[in-house]
Copies of this chain bind each other. A is one copy, B any other.
Amino acid sequence: MSVKIALLGFGTVASGVPFLLKENKEKILQSAQSEIEVAKVLVKDDAEKDRLLAAGNDFDFVTNVDEILEDSDIAIVVELMGRIEPAKTFITRALQAGKHVVTANKDLLAVHGAELIAIAKEHGVALYYEAAVAGGIPILRTLVNSLAADKVTRVLGVVNGTSNFMMTKMVEEGWSYEDALAKAQELGYAESDPTNDVDGIDAAYKMVILSQFAFGMDVQFDQVGHKGIRKITPQDVAVAQSLGYVIKLVGSIEETPSGLVVEVTPTFLPKAHPLAGVNGVMNAVYVESIGIGESMYYGPGAGQKPTATSVVADIIRIVRRLNEGTIGKSFNEYSRPVQLAKPEDVKSDYYFSIQTPDMKGQLLKLAQIFNQEDVSFKQVLQEGAKDSVARVVIITHQLNQTQLQHIIEKIDEEADFTLLNTFKVLGE
């Protein structure tokens, strides 16, 4: 007997779902133990329906979601519309109607996940969303199943393809931020308003979900610090190169003695670090844990078929559980009380790029500021002055957030100094 599913939305990713169901029919049948049939597809209006039918799509397109929610033959609803509304309302109603839900909607999950998970639990139905983090990379289910015996201590992720494409152009070809953005927009990777991608908001959503799966903590979106790539200059990139680093936008989750710290920020990665080679629109999630040690999961973070592969894997899992009679298990059962780190426990090496007039004693003055805060230098680079202005670059040994704050304030107090940029540096 076949299991009937309905798609909400028929954009790029959604159309990949019937493609995979057909192309890999036999393998999917072995795994799911039932055939899977796309019974209905919700589209916006009659115009879209007519356009899709004219293009040769042979599905039962409907324009009213009730035709899906009230259809008792439909067991699984696959939401691929994106954005918060009406997706949230449709998912809520589907769960309440006893239907299992698969979604790739990371914004929704990151902001309203707890609410939706509770509704799913209440109604004994499944809510799966492997595709919500890093598209085609099977990271969520791997954390649930394969790292069940492990304790994760840190997660680092290059999880935004658009900004990683831009950073790759900036690093490998020396492009400016503006040129990289223009190219990303030309290729359709970046939207006309690129805020979500370049300011680290999209990556922060993914870090919220990864915090739940890797650390069992339901961190809120506004507890995730995020700083984007807009301010990175070709000079920063060149200095990073010359000191043996690659700059990337990295999301990190780390467990400190006082609790978790979650942030998204441009980060200097040592060139030998596995994440340093993750280029273009590719994504990767790097996991440090007490059992495995270090592992990395690499793949495309977006795109039709990669995302649809994760969506169909979720659908297969649900069908399988329906056949086994074990449906209703939460996607992620790991749960601990949320505890956030104190600023003094949040430690990292840091990069400072400081502009000073080219005169005697300036480096000494800088050294004194860092010394007062008990912070020592790992690498220092003073560049040849131009127009009587010098640039000093400092990479420090570990400092905590309190020290960082004090140093920034003290540099700001000195009229001579302009703090151009400060970024996190991943130690070897």
Contact = CB atoms under 8 A, between A and B. Distances in A.
A274 B151 CA distance: 26
Contact of A145 (B141, B294, B299): B141
A151 B305 CA distance: 11
Interface string A268-285: 000010100101000000
A149 B28 contact: yes
Interface residues of A, number: 58
Contacts of A333: 30-31
A291 interface: yes
A397 interface: no
A335 B20 contact: no
Interface in A7-23: 20-21, 23
Interface stretch (A48-56, A93-101, A308-316, A388-396): A308-316
Question: How many copies of this chain sit in the oligomeric assembly?
Answer: 2
A148 B27 contact: yes
Given A24-B150, A142-B142, 6 more contacts: A141-B145, A272-B277, A291-B308, A293-B300, A297-B297, A325-B326
A335 B130 CA distance: 25
A146 interface: yes
Interface of A: 20-21, 23-24, 27-28, 30-32, 130, 136-138, 141-142, 144-151, 216, 272, 274, 277, 279, 289-300, 303, 305-306, 308-313, 315-317, 324-326, 333-335
A14 to B, nearest CB: 14
A407 B32 CA distance: 48
Contacts of A277: 272, 274, 277
A294 B299 contact: yes
11 contacts: A30-B216, A31-B334, A142-B142, A147-B313, A148-B316, A272-B277, A277-B277, A289-B309, A290-B305, A291-B309, A296-B299
Contacts of A291: 20, 24, 136, 305-306, 308-309, 312
A300 B316 CA distance: 30
Given A31-B334, A136-B295, A292-B305, A310 B151 contact: no
Contact of A151 (B24, B150, B303): B24
Interface centre among A137, A150, A277, A297 (most CB of B within 10 A): A150
Contacts of A335: 30
- Which 8 A-B pairs have CB atoms at the shortest separation, nearest pair first? A138-B146, A149-B312, A291-B309, A295-B299, A296-B298, A136-B292, A31-B148, A324-B326
A206 B279 CA distance: 29
A147 B138 contact: yes
A303 to B, nearest CB: 7
A27 to B, nearest CB: 6
A115 B70 CA distance: 49
A248 B403 CA distance: 45
B292 A306 contact: yes
A298 B298 contact: yes
Contacts of A21: 149
Contact of A130 (B31, B130, B146, B311): B146
Nearest to A278: B274
Contacts of A136: 291-293, 295
Nearest to A317: B145
